[in-house]
Amino acid sequence: MTKEEAENGRDDMAIDGAEQANAVPDGFDANYLRIYYGKLFPHADMFKWMSYGNDGKHPACDRSYFGRREFSFTLENDIYIRFQSFNSVIELENSIKEKCPFKIDIGPVYSVDPAKRHAYAGDNVFTPVERELVFDIDITDYDDVRYCCTGADVCLECWPLMTIAIKVIDAALRDDFGFNHILWVYSGRRGVHCWVCDGKARRLTNEQRTAIADYFRVYKGNENSHKKISLPGPVLHPFLARSYTEVLKGFFEAKLLPNQSLLSSEDRYEKILEMIPDASVASELRGRWQENKRASMSKDDINLVRWDQLKSVLQSGKQKTQGIRRCVEEIVFSFTYPRLDMEVSKHMNHLLKAPFCVHPKTGRVCVPIDPNNCDEFDPTTVPTLSQLVEELNREGLRQDAENEWDRTSLGESIKFFRTTFLQPLLKSCKEDIESSYNAKLQQSKNTLSCRTQSNHLCPNVYSHLFNPVINAVEDQN
């Protein structure tokens, strides 16, 4: 690299004194964060997103909208500042570049500018009015069903648990709830976040958010029982049934069972046997498996063989109680069904990390995930901060300082963000603003025509009031 440097004679490679351009240390570094915010972080895109079409060009735009959104910054040394707000993209960008926050969180849109909240007295004057519907899924919540890693570690064996969580929730959000503008984001280390940005979603109350979170909840702790999942009823609700047949069953049997060796050793299969409410059935299987500790007859994976045995015993016609037959689904659900952090979704004022932040512990960027191709997402190849800086160095300085991200691995993510999420969202927002504006115009026109017919008001007074509005519409046309 040094040779190249010399050949090209670039002396602007000396960024922050790191002259040895190839020796970029791994992980997270505050200096590189500065470069990141300077050249790579998509400030303008974030601004456009958070404005939801209220960027001032249309007469019906709410100019105060972006300024009422709360951001919070976590600075170096764990200093945390809340209720940050900005009135323009420039303010946002400058503040981020200047403060260089290790983490940026996004909060709700409030009724008034959060920075001025103390000026307003009384209850319910300073209150959230809009907020995306958000979900947070963390792989540490699955620690009791994965054996390859624990805690904050993630590998390609257990990451698929996140993938299927995305599939289940995404399908329900679109098909059941009718939402369209959904962004899935890698959280940077061990989980995923989901942002539902439809207008309907942003205006949901806490009660409605809780209802949606409860709709998604299946895992419930039970006193003194070994089963935390209980699926009563002769059949499953269509949402659960669809999730099972389309996503969970296949994944459990083909991937999770063999990869995590869920039935190969005693302490592991005991956990599954504990979930069977009938002790005699459990002991029958236990007996069989204890005998066959050594290699089984066939070459098939021992986990799959035993799972088949379990299924045939539980689902055989002999089993009278429905609870036994349902057991198979319950086992699959308890291992694979998404485990959401309920508290994140329930309250409008919950802060959530912004996409495109860099995770301080791993250095990885919080990039969007395509729900239609989430099988291909690999958390171990997500661009890191040092990797991006290195790529920038390699490419060198170009004439146009715009779109530097396009020369790095981040380019793909930003393009994806724009084309599949941001542009359709903004288009839809503009349409909404336009149509509600036209509806209001129509309403006032109707009132005007009624009134002029009944001669209640002087037409002169009325036309004075109406002219500015009519002119604006004409201008736009």
Interacting residues with other proteins (CB under 8 A): 175-179, 200, 204, 207-208, 210-212, 214-215, 223-224, 232-241
CB 27 within 8 A of CB 362: yes
Active site residue 130: no
Q: Which of 109, 118, 129, 104 is nearest to 69 (CA)?
A: 109
CB-nearer residue toward other proteins: 8 or 225: 225
- Minimum CB separation of residue 58 from other proteins in Å reads 26
Q: How far from 404 is each of 42, 104, 388, 451, CA to CA, in Å?
A: 10, 21, 11, 59
Helix/strand/coil percentages in the chain, nearest 5: 55, 10, 35
- Minimum CB separation of residue 232 from other proteins in Å reads 7
- Minimum CB separation of residue 204 from other proteins in Å reads 7
Q: How far from 48 is each of 78, 111, 351, 431, CA to CA, in Å?
A: 29, 20, 19, 15
CB-nearer residue toward other proteins: 173 or 389: 173
- Rounded CA separation 55/67 (Å): 11
Q: Which of 84, 170, 86, 165 is nearest to 133 (CA)?
A: 170
CB-nearer residue toward other proteins: 143 or 175: 175
CB-nearer residue toward other proteins: 151 or 234: 234
Active site residue 143: no
CB-nearer residue toward other proteins: 12 or 223: 223
Pairing of β 133-138 and β 103-110: unpaired
DSSP 100: -
- Minimum CB separation of residue 210 from other proteins in Å reads 7
- Active-site choice (55, 130, 138, 390): 138
CB-nearer residue toward other proteins: 238 or 424: 238
CB-nearer residue toward other proteins: 200 or 398: 200
- Minimum CB separation of residue 329 from other proteins in Å reads 12
Q: How far from 422 is each of 11, 17, 385, 416, CA to CA, in Å?
A: 38, 37, 24, 9
* Phi/psi of residue 348, nearest 5 degrees: -65, -30
- Active-site choice (29, 55, 70, 93): 70
**Secondary structure (DSSP) of 274-332:** TT-S-HHHHHHHHHHHHHT-S--SSSS-HHHHHHHHHHHHHTSTT--SHHHHHHHHHHH
CB-nearer residue toward other proteins: 238 or 287: 238
CB contact set of 256 (below 8 Å; sequence gap of 6+): 160, 161, 262, 335, 336
CB-nearer residue toward other proteins: 217 or 271: 217
- Minimum CB separation of residue 236 from other proteins in Å reads 6
- Active-site choice (5, 93, 136, 330): 136
Chain center to CA of 97: 25
Does residue 254 sit in helix, strand or coil? helix
- Minimum CB separation of residue 73 from other proteins in Å reads 32
CB 278 within 8 A of CB 321: yes
- Minimum CB separation of residue 199 from other proteins in Å reads 12
Active site residue 16: no
Q: How far from 165 is each of 27, 132, 185, 236, 310, CA to CA, in Å?
A: 28, 19, 13, 18, 25
Does residue 348 sit in helix, strand or coil? coil
- Minimum CB separation of residue 54 from other proteins in Å reads 23
Task: Give one word for 343, left, alpha or beta, with left for phi > 0 and alpha for psi -120 to 50.
Answer: alpha
Rg (CA), the chain: 28
Q: Which of 200, 72, 85, 73 is nearest to 133 (CA)?
A: 200
Q: Which residues are catalytic?
A: 70, 136, 138
